[in-house]
Amino acid sequence: MRLVDPALSKLGGRALQAAALFCLMLGSVHAFPQAPAGIPRDLARFRVQQLKDVRYQLSYTITPRADSVSGHEEMRFVQNADDRGILPEWLDFREGSISSLTINGQAASTDTQNGHVELPATMLKLDENVVVIDFKAPVAPAGKAITRFEDKDDGSEYIYTLFVPMDADMAFPCFDQPDLKAKFKLNVTAPQDWTVISNTDGHETSGENAGAAGQHRIEFAETKPISTYLFAFAAGPFQKVHDTPGLPGLFVRKSKLQKAEAEAESVQQITADGIKYLSDYFAQPFPFPKYDMVMIPGFAYGGMEHAGATFLREESILFRTAPTHSDRLNRDILLLHELTHQWFGDLVTMRWFDDLWLKEGFAQYMAYHTLNSLKPNENVWKRFYQAIKPAAYAIDSTQGTTPIYQDIPNLKDAKSAYGAIVYSKAPGVIKQLAFVVGDDQFRDGLRLYLKEHAYANAEWNDLVRALERTSKKPLGPWADAWIKKRGMPQVDVSLACDRRQGLSSIDVRQHDVLNQGTIWPIATELLIHQRGIDSTTTISFATTKNGMLVRPGCPDYVFGNDEDQAYGRFLLDPVSRKAVMAQLGSMKDVFQRTLLWGSLWDSVREAEMDPREYIDLALRNLPEEQDESLAQSIIGRTITALHRYVSPEVREQLAPKMEALAADQMLHSPSQDMRITWFRALRGVAETAKARGQLKDMLTVKLIVPGVELRPLDRWNIVESLVAQNDPDATAVLAAEEKRDPTGDGKKYAYMARAARPDPETKKQYFDEYLHDAARPEDWIEISLGSFNWWNQSDLTLPYLAPALDAVPQVKRERKIFFMLAWLNAFIGGQQSSAAQKQVHDFLNSAALDKDLRLKILEVVDELDRTVKIRGKYR
C-alpha cells in the first residue's frame, strides 16, 4: 500500500523532499491517521505486513466482586519498516483504562481513541519492541469480555473470558486479529481457594510472587502461537471431576460436582476416543500440550474451542431435562465439534473471519464423521441430515442469505457471520465435496492442508488447492459456485411412465432458488423405488441444468437425493409424492424414511402441500414410528403446522387429536426414549383443559411418565406452558414451583416462565429489562424470549415488534454472537399475520441499517412471509 499522493509524484525531486520534510514535521506518516472504529480489514492487513513474533506476558489480579480486574502486560513484537520508514501502530483496547504505558522504556501517552492506543513511530524501533502497560479491564454479568457468574446455590463467584470474534481487546491491549498469532504467558493472582484453568498447565508460585494474604498466584507455561480469540482463562472454586490418567481434564463449579460425577466418564471417554481418531485421521498428533474442558453455567454458546481449554455450556453437558438417547449423541457431537477445532481452527486458523466456515463447517462435518466411526450403529449420517440440512435450506432460500465466504470489511461486523450458513450449509457442502473427490483423497487433502499451515493461518483457496492436489480434479468451478455464490439449487425430478411400452422417463432439472442464474455443480444419488426394490443411479451436473434418464419399468417413486449426498431442495413430483405418502408407514429404511418426511415438509413450506395434509399424515403414522429422532422431528413440525400454518378452526379440531396421541404414547410406548419424546410433545401441544390437567397432574406426581423422573427444567417447561395458556391455576402452580426449586437455576427458569404471562404489564416490564438492565445475565434474557413471544400471544406482543427491530443496532453492539438471531426469531417468529409482515418490510424499507443486520432480518422474516402465504392459500 502506497500513501504518496499521485499528484506529488509529478513534482520534481525538490518538491518531494519538501513534502517529506513536511511529513516529518507533522510527526510521521500514518497509515491510519485517525483511530479507526472497530478493526478494519485494511488495518489488519497493514499490521500483518508490519509486525511479527508477537508475545504477550499477562498478569491479572482478581479481586472478588470487583467490577474490574487489574492487569500488567509486557508485550513484545518485532517491527518491520517499509520504504516510508517505521510507521506508527494502533494497539486495540476497548472499555478499559490504562494507568501507565511505556514503549521501549519511555513513558507514552495512555489516551485511547475509538478503542485504540497509539504507539508512535518515534518510540518504536526496528526489531524487537517492548511495550509495558498497567491497565484495568471491566468484569460484568453480561456484555463484557470477562464475565462474572454468581452461583446462587452456594454464593460462589466465577469469572471467565470469552473473546471470539474480537473481544480480547476488552480484556487486554493487543493486536486483536486472528492472523497475528502470538505466544501467551499468563499468570493470575486469585483467592486462595480458586482454581484457574487456561490454555496450558499452570502451577502455584511461591516466595515473593505468591500474592497477598488469602491469595495465591498461578503461573502458566507459555502457549504455542495462537490467535487472540483462542486465548482464555476461567477462575473460581472449580473442581476437577473424575480425574483419571489418560482422560482429558473436566472442570465444574463446586455446587454441581455431584451431578457432574455421573456424566463425567462418558464425556471424557468420547473425547479421548475422538483425540485418538482425529490424530490418526489428520496424521497430526494433538497440537497442544494438554486438553481440558471447563463447564460454564449460562455460557453464551454450546462450546468455545480455546486452544487446549474448551469451555462448554454446563447445561449442554449436565442435562436439565430427562435426556433421551439422541440428547446424549448430540452431546457427543458438541464435544467432537469443539475437539476438531483444536486442529481445524486452533492449529490452522482462518486469516480473517470471512473464512469462518473453514473452521465451523469442518468442525461440524468432522464431528459427525468421527462419531460415525466411533459409533457405527447410530445411523449418524441420518442424524447429520436432520440436524444440519433443514436449518441450511431454511436460510439459503431467503434474501438474507450470504455465500459461505462472507465479506467482512470490519471485525466489528464479524458476529453476524455466525449462523446456519457456516454451521449448517458449510458442513452440508463439505459432505458433497467429500462425495465428489472421494473419501481417501478428501482425507489426504485435509492432511496436506493441516501440515502446510500448522500454527499459522490459511484461506479457503489453500484448502481447495490441497484437495485438487490429492484428488487430481479441478475444483475451481465447484468452489466458485458453492463457496462464493449465495443461495442453492432446487432439483425437480419428474417421473413419466409409458405402461404400454414398459418404459419410464425421469427428467431431472435444477433451478436456482434465488433466481440469480447460477448453475450449481451437483453430484447426487437418484433413488428409484420400483415394486418394493430400491436402486440408485449417480447423476452429476457440471454445467447443465437438466438431464433425462429413460429406463425399463414403472417406478412407484423417485427421489433426487438418496443418502443426502447433495445440497439443495429436493421435492417429490406429484406421482412420487402420492406413492410416498401411501408407503411411508411401511418403509423399512429409516434414513430413507427421514429424507422423504423432510421432503414433504419442504413441500409444505413451499406452499405446495396443504399443512393439514401433513398433520393428518403425521397423526396416522406417528403411532408406529419408533425412531426417536425422526419422531421428534415429525412431532416438532406437526406442532409448528398447528400453531402457525393452519387456521384456528383447523387447529381446534386437530390439536386435541395430537394431545390424545401424545398422552397415550407417553404412558404406553415400550421405549423410554419415546416416552420422554411424547412427554415433550404433550407439553408442546397441550391447550385444552384436559391436556393442561394432565400436565398439572404431572407436577403433583399424580401422573407419571413410566420409568422417567422429570428433571427441573421439564417441570419448569410445564409451568411455562400453563402460564402462557393462562390456565386458571397458573399463578398457584408458578408459586409452588418457585418454593419447590429455590436454586439458582430455578430462579432463572421462573424468570423464563413469568415472561409468558399473557398480560401487557408483564410484557412491558420484561421488554424494558431486555434493553436497559445491565445486571441481568444474557442467558436469562435469551431463554425468556420465546416465552415472551408465545405463539398464541401475537396480539399482545405485536406492539413490541417495532421497538425490537429498532433495537437491533444496540443488540449487535452489546450481546454475544448468537443473541441477535434469538432476538429476531423470537420477536418476528412470534407473529403470524400480514400486518406484522408489513411492519417488518416497512422497517426494512425505511431504516438505515448495517448491511449485516439487514440480511439477518431478511433471513428471519422469510418464515413469516411463508406463514402468511400458506395461511392465505389454504384458508
**Where do contacts with Zn ion occur on this chain (CB under 5 A)?**
360, 363
> With respect to Zn ion, which residue has the nearer C-beta, 363 or 434?
363
> With respect to Zn ion, which residue has the nearer C-beta, 347 or 801?
347
Cell 432480518, residue located = 857
> With respect to Zn ion, which residue has the nearer C-beta, 164 or 186?
164
* Position closest to Zn ion via CB: 363
CB of 352 to Zn ion, least distance (A): 17
CB of 245 to Zn ion, least distance (A): 28
Q: Virtual CA dihedral for 854, 858, 859, 864, nearest 10 degrees?
A: 140
CB of 362 to Zn ion, least distance (A): 9
299-336 residues labelled b (16+ CB within 10 A) or e (exposed): bbbbbbbbbbbbbbbbbbbbbbbbbbebbebbbbbbbb
CB of 337 to Zn ion, least distance (A): 6
Angle made by CA atoms 546, 529, 554, in degrees to the nearest 5: 75
CB of 303 to Zn ion, least distance (A): 7
How large is the C-alpha radius of gyration of the chain?
A: 29
> With respect to Zn ion, which residue has the nearer C-beta, 359 or 856?
359
Cβ neighbours for 870, distance < 8 A, ≥ 6 positions apart: 604, 605, 607, 611, 645
Cβ neighbours for 520, distance < 8 A, ≥ 6 positions apart: 481, 482, 488, 489, 510, 512, 541, 568
DSSP per position, 653-685:
HHHHHHHHHHHHHHHH-S-HHHHHHHHHHHHHH
Q: Of 188, 80, 106, 97, give the one whose Cα is nearest residue 138.
A: 97
CB of 431 to Zn ion, least distance (A): 17
> With respect to Zn ion, which residue has the nearer C-beta, 337 or 866?
337
How many C-alpha atoms does 246 have within 13 Å on its Cβ side? 5
DSSP per position, 779-824:
HHHHHHHHHHT-GGGHHHHGGGHHHHHHTHHHHHHHS-TTHHHHHH
Contact 486, 402 (CB under 8 A): yes
> With respect to Zn ion, which residue has the nearer C-beta, 416 or 789?
416
> With respect to Zn ion, which residue has the nearer C-beta, 755 or 817?
817
> With respect to Zn ion, which residue has the nearer C-beta, 346 or 360?
360
Q: Report residue 208: phi and psi, to 5°.
A: -70, -15
Put residue 543 in one of left, alpha, beta given phi > 0 → left and psi -120 to 50 → alpha: alpha
DSSP per position, 535-594:
EEEEEEESS-SEEEEEEES--SEEES-GGG-S-SEEEPPHHHHHHHHHHGGG---HHHHH
H helix or E strand, kind and range, residue 157: strand 157-161
> With respect to Zn ion, which residue has the nearer C-beta, 426 or 436?
426
> With respect to Zn ion, which residue has the nearer C-beta, 43 or 164?
164
CB of 363 to Zn ion, least distance (A): 5
Number of residues in the chain: 875
CB of 301 to Zn ion, least distance (A): 8
> With respect to Zn ion, which residue has the nearer C-beta, 331 or 569?
331
CB of 426 to Zn ion, least distance (A): 11
C-alpha cell at 728: 386458571
> With respect to Zn ion, which residue has the nearer C-beta, 337 or 871?
337
3-state secondary structure of 74: strand
CB of 626 to Zn ion, least distance (A): 32
Contact 528, 568 (CB under 8 A): no
Give dist(CA 270, CA 335) in Å, integer. 8
CB of 523 to Zn ion, least distance (A): 27
> With respect to Zn ion, which residue has the nearer C-beta, 353 or 800?
353
Q: Is 790 exposed, middle or buried (0-12, 13-18, 19+ CB in 10 A)?
A: buried
Cell 485418538, residue located = 276
Tally Cβ neighbours within 10 Å of residue 32: 17
CB of 855 to Zn ion, least distance (A): 21
CB of 350 to Zn ion, least distance (A): 12
CB of 333 to Zn ion, least distance (A): 11
CB of 313 to Zn ion, least distance (A): 13
Give dist(CA 280, CA 269) in Å, integer. 17
Contact 760, 796 (CB under 8 A): yes
> With respect to Zn ion, which residue has the nearer C-beta, 58 or 363?
363
C-alpha cell at 383: 442424524
Give dist(CA 366, CA 641) in Å, integer. 33
> With respect to Zn ion, which residue has the nearer C-beta, 363 or 868?
363
